[in-house]
Amino acid sequence: MRSTTRRRILVTGGAGFLGSHLCERLLGEGNEVICADNFYTGCKENIAHLLPDPYFEVVRHDICFPLYVEVDEIYNLACPASPVHYQFDPVQTTKVSVHGSINMLGLAKRVKARILQASTSEVYGDPSVHPQMETYWGNVNPIGPRSCYDEGKRCAETLFFDYRRQHKLRIKVARIFNTYGPRMHPEDGRVVSTFIMQALRNDDITVYGEGRQTRCFCYVDELIDGLVRLMNTGDEITGPLNLGNPVEFTILELAEKIIELTGSKSRIVFRPLPQDDPRQRMPDISVAKKILNWEPAVSLEEGLEKTIAYLRGVDIQYQDSLISAGGKG
Ligand code: NAD
Ligand code: UDP
Ligand code: UDP
């Protein structure tokens, strides 16, 4: 029999980096969780530890196609997030944000579920306002290599607000800034995982440009807490709401910090800056502080230590698998 207090929650992209932490958190709170993922960039290892839980269910599904389930809440996270992954098949990237969002909004409309969209700081493009607040409309190139992601996510926000205006949907839009932590994909090209893997292997650390571009890094557990708090606000709160850690670092500073924390012998080398790479990024989180009573507290050193420990384990497993494959041969 169905419990009256247990909510049934759909997490799309639930086998990814953020999604797997979100599924874990929601199950821990006593909810029933359906993870829908096509394993495009996510993997079963991220959610294997949740499978024994009878209230956890995995559906292999591409959200560009309709999905019929009965749920109370939807967290829409399905979308490749690293530049390397989202530029690999850019048409698919736009489709997942646009067709995928339409399907999830149609589902929310039918079952009258609350729905939260994982939007991004990329909607601000290469910002001419610093720090970025939610009222800033952004500076986005509509035809560049990042546009499939940036414009896809911007269109998803439009769809969310039009479904609210047209169909009275209960929506929440979170603009997530760079987040890092355990279960980041070691090869997805994002700066934190890339620099850590390079440092652990004593390879050259590839800083793009002169490394003067800035980012702010939020530890995963704190970001997930912000998402859950936003979902649990009253229906009048829609966002868009910035979620991120407002402490700014240059990419060169990040490289130096990772070399120090890993005790690596890596050298820093400079490579060309990719086209349209945002020069500076930092969230203004005053609205999140006020509405959610939320503010990140984990320092970059503390979060990096945990991420390094995780990626060290992944690297050891990988080296072991090479040795055993060599042994068999
Ligand atoms: P991720 O690549 O680890 O996770 C994305 C997940 O979505 C993967 O499991 C992937 O297999 C799945 N997916 C992709 N296309 C799908 C489809 N068509 N149907 C079903 N599943 C699909 O990335 P992440 O870092 O966990 O990001 C999750 C969400 O948060 C994304 O929407 C991303 O845009 C957003 N976001 C993340 C960050 C960050 O720093 N991590 C920043 C801003 C926004
Ligand atoms: N949809 C879905 N699951 C549902 C309900 C709808 O995937 O439970 C999809 C459906 O395929 C449709 C989309 O959501 O294409 C948008 O639905 P909506 O009701 O907004 O529009 P319509 O069905 O009128 O095109
Ligand atoms: N970056 C870098 N070397 C790398 C990977 C990334 O210098 O090997 C830089 C990249 O140019 C960008 C920043 O790090 O300025 C963050 O890149 P990431 O891909 O993690 O995220 P995003 O650009 O989407 O914020």
Q: Is residue 129 packed enough to be buried (19+ CB in 10 Å), middle (13-18) or exposed (0-12)?
A: middle
CA of 4 relative to ligand 1 center, distance in Å: 31
In this predicted structure, the answer to whether residue 124 has a pLDDT above a threshold of 60 is yes
Mutate to test the pocket of ligand 3, among 88, 93, 194, 208 (most ligand atoms within 8 A of CB): 208
- Convert the pLDDT of each residue in 187-201 to its tens digit: 999 999 999 999 999
The CA-CA-CA angle for residues 174, 175, 178, to 5°, reads 125
Respond yes or no: is residue 149 known to be catalytic: yes
d(CA 84, CA 274): 11
**158 Cβ contact partners less than 8 Å away, ≥ 6 residues apart:** none
Tell me, what's the pLDDT at 316?
83
**Separation CA 329–CA 317 (nearest Å):** 18
pLDDT at 321 over 80: no
pLDDT at 329 over 70: no
- The kind and range of the H/E element at 195 are helix 191-200
> Is residue 328 pLDDT above 70, yes or no?
no
Distance 194 CA to ligand 1 centre (A): 17
The minimum-distance atom of ligand 3 relative to the CA of 198 is: 8
C-alpha span between 219 and 142 (Å, rounded): 30
Average pLDDT value for residue range 213-228: 98
Q: 270 - beta bridge partners?
A: 207
Sequence-distant (6+) residues with CB within 8 A of 234 are none
Residues with CB under 6 A from ligand 3: 82-83, 178, 189-191, 194, 206-208, 213, 215, 251, 274, 277
Proximal ligand: closest to the CA of 156: 1
Report how far ligand 2's centroid is from the alpha carbon of 234 (Å).
25
- Residue with CA nearest ligand 2 atom 23: 106
CA nearest neighbour of 318 among 207, 182, 185: 185
**What separation in Å is there between the alpha carbon of 110 and the centre of ligand 2?**
8
Task: Provide mean pLDDT across the span 14-36.
Answer: 98
Interstrand relation of 73-76 and 214-216 (parallel, antiparallel or unpaired): unpaired
pLDDT at 166: 98
CA distance 2 to 193: 41
Q: Are 185 and 225 in contact (CB under 8 A)?
A: no
**203 pLDDT higher than 90:** yes
User: Ligand 3 pocket test: which of 191, 203, 276 has the largest number of ligand atoms within 8 Å of its C-beta?
Assistant: 191
The predicted structure's pLDDT at residue 2: 53
Q: Are 231 and 192 in contact (CB under 8 A)?
A: no
Look up the CATH number of domain 8-177+219-244+282-297. 3.40.50.720
Q: What is the pLDDT of residue 186?
A: 94
Q: Is 152 exposed, middle or buried (0-12, 13-18, 19+ CB in 10 A)?
A: buried
Each domain of the chain, given as residue ranges in start order, spans 8-177+219-244+282-297
Q: How far is ligand 3, taken at its centre, from the CA of residue 273, in Å? A: 9
- Checking if the pLDDT of 327 tops 80, the result is no
Residue of 95, 176, 230 best suited for mutating to test ligand 1, as the one with most atoms within 8 Å of CB:
176
Q: Residue 305: pLDDT above 80?
A: yes
The reported pLDDT for the residue numbered 325 is: 74
Question: 306 by DSSP, 3-state: which?
Answer: helix
Task: Quote the tokens at residue 188.
Answer: 């997805």
Q: What pLDDT, in 10s, does the model give residues 60-118?
A: 999 999 999 999 999 999 999 999 999 999 999 999 999 999 999 999 999 999 999 99
Kindly tell me if the per-residue pLDDT of 12 is higher than 80. Answer: yes
Strands 241-243 and 73-76 come out as unpaired
**What share of the chain has pLDDT > 90, as a percent?**
93
Ligand 2: residues whose CB is within 6 Å? 66-68, 102-103, 106-107, 109-110
Q: Give per-residue pLDDT as tens, 141-159.
A: 999 999 999 999 999 999 9
Give percent of the chain above pLDDT 70.
Answer: 98
Task: Report whether residue 12 contacts ligand 1, using a CB cutoff of 6 Å.
Answer: yes
pLDDT digits (tens, 9 = 90+) for 279-294: 999 999 999 999 999 9
Q: Mean pLDDT score of the chain, rounded to an integer?
A: 96
pLDDT band for position 1 (50/70/90)? low
**Catalytic residue from among 86, 149, 163, 219:** 149
Q: How confident is the model at residue 4 (pLDDT cuts 50, 70, 90)?
A: low
